[in-house]
Structure 1
Amino acid sequence: MPRITQEQKKLNRERIVQAASEGFRRHGVDGIGIEELMKTAGMTHGGFYNHFPSKEDLALEVYRQGFADSLDALAAIRAAHPRSARAALQDMVDRYVSAAHRDHPETGCASAALAVDAGRHGAASQAEYRRGLDGYLSAITEMVLDHARQAGTEPTAAEARERALGLFCQMVGALVVARAVAEADPVLSDEVLSANRGQLRPR
């Protein structure tokens, strides 16, 4: 039997992480098993352990990759509005607190899709979530400071961080609540998104 190349092993690992990223975000870490994940990745169940010692280790990688992707997307939003931090903040809110994001958790931000899992899966998962949160807070705090300066005010670093933390938590919370009632009451779900977008858009 031919030996697998390092390049193929790397590609196989990426396929597993991609399948897990979408599966965990849609169903939760406990809502989908290794066998189904590997089937989605086009691989056999036994091959999983060539790449990860456990499902929990795979989940940690999903957190890391998920937040890295989200931070790249946030950087792209900021880069798209080089002259207006206000426009960047509004774009961030409108994209995050949206029906499209609500309806597609499998391709959306890990911060909302995996928040409950992080809380339930112990210190290692929470540490990865915290690292991602730190990245988000740093990026949003900078945007808040830029917006304030462009508006002619000068908040303290602590005030800007508090505003960033509030923005992040309300965006995540709005998405979680909107998803929680999306099938039972689509009108209310849309209302949750609309009300929070209105409150979160920068003045």
Structure 2
Amino acid sequence: MPRITREDKARNRQNIIDAAGRMFRAQGIDAVGIADLMKEAGLTHGGFYNHFASKDELAAEACGASFEASLGVLDQAVEEGPGPTGTPLQRVVNGYLSAAHRDAPDGGCPSASLVIDAGRHSDTVQGAYAVGVEGYLTGFASELARDHDEELTPQEARERAVLLLSRLVGAMTLARAVRHTEPELSDEILRTCRAHAFD
């Protein structure tokens, strides 16, 4: 039997992290078993512990990787600058509070899809989630300070960033919670919060 190369091992590990990120966001951390996770990653159940000491360790890494990808959207918007559809932050908010994001939790931002899981899991998972939240707050505060004609102190920009992120996560959590039984209500939540996100 051929030996696995270092590159193969790294690729397999990344496949597990990617599969975990999708499955944890869509189903919740506790609902995903290791056997199903490894099958989704295209690997055998027994190989899990060659890569991770525990499911908790994987959850923290998957959370971190998911936030990194999501924060990349903000970075890209900032790099593109203002455009016909608004400032970078307006475009991010509109994308976040969209039906497409609501309907695809497995690929969306973990801030809403993992908010309950992070609160129920270990300090390791909470720590990874907190790092992601801080990334959003830092990015939002920077953009809010840039977008406002009036001078914002760093504290004021930070407070507005906290309010904005809380509105986004709350709105998305509520919109997802009712989307199957009350789709019009779900749409109303998203529409209203998009219109008043910066109030």
TM-score (norm 2): 0.96
CA distance in 2, matches of 1:139, 1:58: 26
Q: Tell me the residue number matched to 2:137.
A: 137
1:163 aligns with 2:160: yes
Give, in angstroms, the shift of residue 53 of structure 1: 0.9
Structure 2: how far apart are the matches of 1:181 and 1:66? 24
Aligned length: 198
User: Is the 2:74–2:89 Cα contact (8 Å) retained in structure 1?
Assistant: no
Q: CA deviation at 1:82?
A: 5.1
Q: Does 1:182 align with 2:163?
A: no
- Partner deviation per Cα, 1:58-107 (whole Å, 9 max, x = no partner): 101011101111111110011122589x6112101100011000000011
Matched residue type, 1:188: L
Whether the aligned pair in 1 keeps the contact of 2:73 and 2:92 (CA below 8 Å) is no
1:173 aligns with 2:163: no
Q: Which residue of 1 aligns with 2:37?
A: 37
Structure 2 gaps of 5+ residues are none
CA distance in 2, matches of 1:101, 1:165: 21
**Paired residue secondary structure (1:145):** helix
Aligned-pair identity in percent equals 46
CA deviation vs aligned residue, 1:44-68 (integer Å, no higher than 9, x gap) = 1001111011111110101110111
Rounded Cα–Cα distance in structure 1 between residues aligned with 2:48 and 2:35: 9
Corresponding residue of 1:63: 63
Alignment partners' CA distance in 1, 2:121 and 2:13? 22
CA distance, structure 1, for counterparts of residue 196 and residue 108 of structure 2: 22
> After TM superposition, which residue ranges in structure 1, 4 or more long, deviate above 6 angstroms?
none
2: CA distance, partners of 1:32 / 1:67: 19
Q: State the Cα deviation string for residues 149-196 of structure 1 (Å, max 9, x = none).
A: xx2x10111111100110011001100000000101111100110010
Distance 2:10 2:66 in 1: 18
In structure 1, the residue matched to 2:191 is: 194
In the other structure, the counterpart of 1:2 is: 2
Distance apart, 1:122 and its partner CA: 2.6
Q: Take 1:124 and 1:53, find their aligned partners in 2: how far apart are those partners?
A: 13
Question: Are 1:95 and 2:92 counterparts?
Answer: no
Which structure dedicates a bigger proportion of its chain to helix? Answer: 1
**Post-superposition offset of 1:141:** 0.3
CA deviation after TM superposition for structure 1 residue 23, in Å? 0.4
Residue identity matched to 1:124: T
Q: What CA deviation, in whole Å up to 9, does each residue of 1:17-65 have, x standing for no partner?
A: 1111100000000111000011111111001111011111110101110
Instruction: Tell me the secondary structure at the aligned position of residue 30 of structure 1.
Output: coil
Q: Distance in 1 between matches of 2:72 and 2:175?
A: 25
Unaligned runs of 5+ in 1: none
The SS at the match of 2:106 is helix
Q: Quick one: which amino acid aligns to residue 155 of structure 1?
A: L
Which residue in the other structure is 1:117 paired with? 117
Counterpart Cα distance in 1 of 2:135 and 2:171: 20
Root-mean-square deviation (Å): 1.4
